[in-house]
A and B are shown apart, each in its own frame.
Chain A
């Protein structure tokens, strides 16, 4: 491990009085044993680990990234304002250089929340990392940001939010979508036409263990980050790749998570999923905190840790090697694929069906993006949900070109409510959010 001690901010918010339902995995007890372990290890007494109280995110922070139907207050609880606020606090402490890096160990999570929000899916209502990222850009100016999503489930929400943004590199490593919720996250999901290659999906076979994750990190993620040269690296630190997680099938360990964070060296880590609350989370979280702070984590192991018993098969190793090399080539050739995707069109449309498993809502979207060489491109979305709500959203990207902005304004102006319950206009650069 690296020898240098770093000053690490910890924003801990276990929401001991908030649950989706009493026996839901996302319940009061989730971070209880993590708290016990972090307290008992005395981590908060260490000179280079500082705890901060989370601030509160505002509705404006949410509206910068999401179109909430009918509006943000209706789709969130107070707890979401705190977890998003906790992520923002982590970012603030890093941006103000009060700390070298920060970990928002907060709940509820966010990475399944997409741009348009009709309700909760995958235990998520609003995307707390995405809100944090646009907060950073709003306050500190344009930034190239990389998200490395190490949750076991595909970060389909973050992918959707940043699909058209060439300044946000989104890399998700996760259990193969053919075997796990949400069923997406294949290598051919590669970003929108104006941001091709800036969404990278790395599905890994079930029972991938430390070697497989670290191979992917060393041979794919770190080289891509070297080439992308982000100003900030964010780890969506899901902890459900653990060998004891009850709702997934991977074989990652606390040591593996700590080594990954040591090598990745994220500026900000934000907790996502992870539901082996008693046998995995206490050790994973202590490992991540120590790794971020540059303190010896080699003694952080689960009581039942037996690397031989969970080691991936040689067949899995070969599959991962092939996968990594295939995806790295895709990334290398991202520019040359663009013409084939656009095929001379001015606008491209995609149809999406989205299921909100937590709230049991289904949604159908028609999303249109303007093909643009200058920016991420204007996006308009027609969305109809089983709640009966049909909406139309006009979304001007961050660092927008004048043409996309002008067209966006015209479309919003011309769109009458007519068929729609609500029509929205969102302009990230100017922090404008209008509803009619």
Chain B
């Protein structure tokens, strides 16, 4: 049996899967001040009376990290940046405790200026005097040569409770994002580690030995102990859970669009051949662009409860929500009211819905039906144009080879999956506007918890080999070793796959789920002087892509009533 729990902003959903089928499901109100309590209630509701020995694993998607960041419940972090030449330091400063040092590494990973012990110790003194206990150390191009960061760490290591290193965050290039990611990781370190300690204690009391997993922003899981070193990986797991849930509830091996139409917002995600697309560099949270691997989602401020008004001669929808729909006692007319007035759904108080629509119809001087139609049409159009915009952005993403320009793959969705309150009335209109059929998955109300339960362990690694320098680096693992001049692309791919496998297993992956693919594969001849070949620059990136655990098959899936 598997437990999947999604601690959301409002509700905590839980499912108990037995043989990949839902045995029980539950929904409890989330207590934001005490997430552990919500977790316990939800678990009790589905697992009370079950045999703990039967439990294979527990997968948890939680808002703890997201909330800490959004609500600013973060620790002060002392930042040490090795920036070198480039953008002005003023553009890189992330907080008032940011300090710059003279050492730096260039784009080849060659150290241009070394570490000045005195300089680093001096910054350590300042942090200590300020009572700072969390430190972030980030170097430009540290993914090309992590040594400078670790040396700085060694100088001040014994003086601080925790140090986050930039090169461990991601193998991707982007110094400002590396700074933001490292900062956030250190800033929520204590909050997150306290939380998982409580979770581990609580689960321990339930007499199960089943491993606990945490859902990450990329729709994959990681063992709870391993997640401790990378707390920011667990942000935005809610939307990820929803997308993985939709994947599990549909027969997903096609190019597809997923729409989650909520009260305030509509979230859009895209599948390519059944795999959810990832953000190219990383997710954005509270204005921080990061290197945190995450599923690509677009959120627009349009939902069933969006406030509708007639302004400057035209109909305006959202982005604000004044409360529930008028049919449910809310103060303003909403798209939901329009759908009720049109008879597309029979929820709530139809009289109140019609009255709310009549209010705007009066302003525009048209019939109630005309206004309801116009409202409904506008909501559907806004959502579909956001979908089309997102697709066009994805399909027009710059590429850097002649081959990709001429032969590059395009996403051509064959189906749109629609979940959320207004899914049923809206899907038939939205699919017509998009020009491909819609599908409303069943049991979507617990999609998030199912998504968490069925997600596999995911991860990625970036290998850079420079045979002129005679060095290979896998920054995320802190690996930096010598290689021979004869080191080849095939060697690199082999090592990258092996190390990825080790990393995934360490994170709690099962052998069956190690669906490894190479996502970047480039080899450049390095030529210097007049045509003299000095070595090869090899760049490999491999991942275990987001997907569902082996053994689960859609056709077996059903709800036991």
Q: Using CB atoms and an 8 Å cutoff, list the residues of chain A in contact with chain B.
A: 12-18, 22-24, 27-29, 32-33, 35-37, 39-42, 45, 51-54, 56, 77-79, 82, 246, 278, 282-283, 286, 290, 295-296, 298-303
A40 touching B173, Cβ below 8 Å? yes
Q: Could you say which residues of chain B place their CB within 8 Å of the CB of A17?
A: 401-403
Do A23 and B533 touch (CB < 8 A)? yes
A-B contacts, 23 listed (Cβ < 8 Å): A12-B398, A13-B398, A16-B522, A17-B401, A18-B402, A29-B524, A29-B537, A36-B173, A37-B107, A40-B107, A42-B87, A42-B289, A53-B397, A56-B405, A78-B402, A82-B405, A278-B107, A283-B85, A286-B86, A296-B87, A296-B88, A299-B89, A303-B84
Expressed in whole angstroms, the Cα–Cα distance for A411 and B90 within the complex equals: 65
CA distance A42 to B397 in the complex (A): 17
> Across the interface, do B86 and A37 meet the contact criterion of CB distance under 8 Å?
yes
Q: A13-B398, A16-B400, A27-B525 are in contact. List 4 more A-B contacts (CB 8 A).
A: A29-B524, A33-B108, A37-B107, A296-B91
Q: How far is the CA of A246 from the CA of B537 in the complex (A)?
A: 20
Given the known interface contacts A22-B525, A51-B398, the answer about A42 and B177 at a Cβ–Cβ threshold of 8 Å is yes
A296 to B399, CA, bound (A): 28
Q: Does B304 touch A at the CB level, under 8 Å?
A: no
Interface: B171 (CB within 8 A):
no
Tell me whether A40 and B525 are in contact in the complex, defined as CB-CB below 8 angstroms, given that A16-B400, A23-B531 are known contacts: no
The docked-state distance in angstroms from the alpha carbon of A262 to that of B85 is 19
Residues of B294-347 at the interface with A, using a CB-CB cut-off of 8 Å, are none
User: Do A39 and B173 contact each other (CB < 8 Å), given the known contacts A14-B400, A33-B107, A246-B529?
Assistant: yes
Q: How far is the CA of A175 from the CA of B87 in the complex (A)?
A: 30
Q: How far is the CB of A238 from chain B (nearest CB, A)?
A: 19
Chain B residue at minimal CB-CB distance from A15: B402
CB distance from A104 to the nearest CB of B (A): 12
Main secondary structure of the interface of A (DSSP, over half): loop
Residue of B nearest to A32 (CB): B524
B527 at the interface (CB under 8 A from A): yes
The reply to whether B106 and A303 contact each other, CB–CB distance below 8 Å, is yes
The 8 closest A-B pairs by CB, nearest first: A42-B176, A23-B531, A296-B88, A39-B173, A17-B401, A36-B107, A53-B398, A40-B173
Whether A278 and B108, one on each chain, are in contact in the complex, defined by CB atoms closer than 8 angstroms, is yes
Instruction: Please give, as numbers and ranges, the residues of chain A lying within 8 Å of B53 by CB-CB distance.
Output: none
Q: With the chains together, A29 CA to B537 CA distance in Å?
A: 9
Contacts of A36 in B (CB 8 A): 107, 141, 173
Distance from B176 Cβ to chain A, minimum over Cβ atoms (Å): 4
B401/A54 in contact, CB under 8 A: no
**Chain A residue at smallest Cβ distance from B172:** A39
Taking a contact as CB atoms closer than 8 A, the residue among B85, B406, B526, B537 that contacts A301 in the complex is: B85
Chain B 244-261 interface 0/1 with A at a Cβ cutoff of 8 Å (1 = within):
000000000000000000
CA distance A18 to B527 in the complex (A): 15
When the two chains form their complex, are residues A53 and B396 in contact, meaning their CB atoms are under 8 A apart?
yes
Once the chains bind, are A15 and B406 in contact (CB under 8 Å)? Answer: no
A40-B107, A246-B530, A299-B87 known; A78+B525 contact, CB < 8 A = no
- How many Å lie between the Cα of A56 and that of B406 in the bound state? 10
Which residue of B86, B173, B398 is within 8 Å of A299 (Cβ)? B86
- Contact mask for chain B residues 88-122; partner A; CB cutoff 8 A; 1 contact, 0 none: 11110000000000000011100010000000000
A118 to chain B, nearest CB (A): 23
Q: Are B88 and A12 in contact (CB under 8 A)?
A: no
> CA separation between A165 and B112, bound complex, in Å?
49
Beta-carbon nearest neighbor of B176 in chain A: A42
> Is B527 a contact partner of A45 (Cβ separation < 8 A)?
no
**Interface status of B293 (Cβ within 8 A of chain A):** no
Cβ proximity bits B386-400 to A, threshold 8 Å, 1 near / 0 not: 000000000011111
Contact A54 B405 (CB under 8 A): yes
Whether B108 lies near A303 (C-beta < 8 A) is no
Nearest Cβ on chain B to A229's Cβ, whole angstroms: 34
Contact-residue size bin, chain B (C-beta under 8 Å from the other chain): 35 or more
* B-side contacts of A282, CB under 8 Å: 107
Question: Which of B87, B289, B399, B402 touches A79 (beta carbons < 8 Å)?
Answer: B402
Chain A residues positioned under 8 Å from B193 (CB to CB) = none
Taking the closest CB of chain A, its distance from the CB of B294, in whole angstroms, is: 15
CA distance A298 to B403 in the complex (A): 37
CB neighbours of B396 from chain A (8 A): 53
- B91 contacts across to A, CB distance below 8 A: 295-296
Q: How far is the CB of B464 from chain A (nearest CB, A)?
A: 10
In the complex, A302→B141 CA distance in Å? Answer: 15
Q: Residues of A contacting B85 with CB < 8 Å?
A: 283, 299-303
Q: Quick check: is B175 within 8 A (CB to CB) of the other chain?
A: yes
Residues of A near B526 (CB, < 8 A) are: 29
Contact B175 A42 (CB under 8 A): yes
Contact residues in B for A32 (Cβ distance below 8 Å): 524, 537
- B402 near A28 with CB under 8 A, answer no
Complex: how many Å from CA A152 to CA B338?
67
Query: How far is it, in angstroms, between the C-alpha of A53 and the C-alpha of B530 when the chains are bound?
Result: 32
Residue from B175, B401, B525, B533 within 8 A of A15 (CB atoms): B401
Known: A29-B524, A40-B173. A82 touches B402 (CB 8 A): yes
- Is B350 interfacial (CB 8 A cutoff)? no
Quick one: which of B377-429 are within 8 Å of A by CB? 396-403, 405-406
A42 touching B174 in the complex, CB below 8 Å, given contacts A246-B530, A299-B86: yes
Q: Complex: how many Å from CA A249 to CA B112?
A: 25
Q: Flag whether B140 is at the interface (Cβ < 8 A).
A: yes
Kindly provide the distance from the CB of B466 to the nearest chain A CB, expressed in whole angstroms. Answer: 11
Q: Closest residue of chain B to A85, judged by CB?
A: B405
A45 touching B177, Cβ below 8 Å: yes
Are A23's CB and B525's CB within 8 A? yes
Give bound CA distance, A88 to B333, whole Å. Answer: 48
A85 CB, nearest partner CB in chain B, Å: 9
- From A13, A41, A56, A286, give the contact of B400 (CB < 8 A): A13
> A28: which B residues are within 8 A, CB to CB?
524-525
A282–B173 Cα gap in the complex (Å)?
A: 14
Which A residues are in CB contact (< 8 Å) with B175? 40-42
Q: Which residues of chain A are within 8 angstroms of B112 by Cβ–Cβ distance?
A: 303
Complex Cα distance A78/B524, Å? 20
A300 touches B174 (CB 8 A): no
A77 to B405, CA, bound (A): 13
Most buried by A among B175, B399, B405, B532: B405
Residues of B within 8 A of A302 (CB): 85
Nearest CB on B from A271, distance (A): 14
Q: Residues of B contacting A39 with CB < 8 Å?
A: 173-174
Bound Cα distance from A74 to B542, whole angstroms: 39
Question: Assuming A23-B525, A78-B405, is B400 touching A12 (CB within 8 A)?
Answer: yes
- Please indicate the chain A residues that have their CB under 8 angstroms from the CB of B140 in the complex: 40
A16 to B521, CA, bound (A): 12
Q: Contact string, B510-543, partner A, CB cutoff 8 A, digits 1/0? A: 0000000000001011110111110001000000
Q: Produce 1/0 per residue, B226-268, CB < 8 A to A.
A: 0000000000000000000000000000000000000000000
Q: What chain B residues lie within 8 Å of A23 (beta carbons)? A: 525, 527, 531-533
Residue of A nearest to B88 (CB): A296
Specify which chain A residues have a CB less than 8 angstroms from the CB of B397 in the assembled complex: 53
* A393 CB, min distance to chain B CBs, angstroms: 30
Q: Which A residue sits closest to B408, measured CB to CB?
A: A53
Q: How far is the CB of B175 from chain A (nearest CB, A)?
A: 5
**How far apart sit A35 and B520, CA to CA, in the bound complex (Å)?**
15
Given contacts A40-B175, A45-B176, is CB(A52)–CB(B398) below 8 Å? yes
Rounded to whole Å, the gap between the CB of B385 and the closest CB of chain A is 19
Q: Tell me if A27 and B527 are in contact (CB < 8 A).
A: yes
- Docked complex: B173-193 residues within 8 A CB-CB of A: 173-177
**In the complex, how many angstroms separate the beta carbon of B49 from the nearest chain A beta carbon?**
52
Alpha-carbon gap, A82 to B401, bound state (A): 10
Q: Which residues of B contact A54 (CB under 8 A)?
A: 398, 405
* A304 and chain B: residue at smallest CB distance: B112
| Bound Cα distance A24, B531 (Å) | 6
**A282 to B291 CA separation, bound complex (whole angstroms):** 22
Contacts of B522 in A (CB 8 A): 16
Known contacts A17-B403, A40-B173: does B88 contact A29 (CB below 8 Å)?
no
Bound-state CA distance A301–B401 (Å) is 29
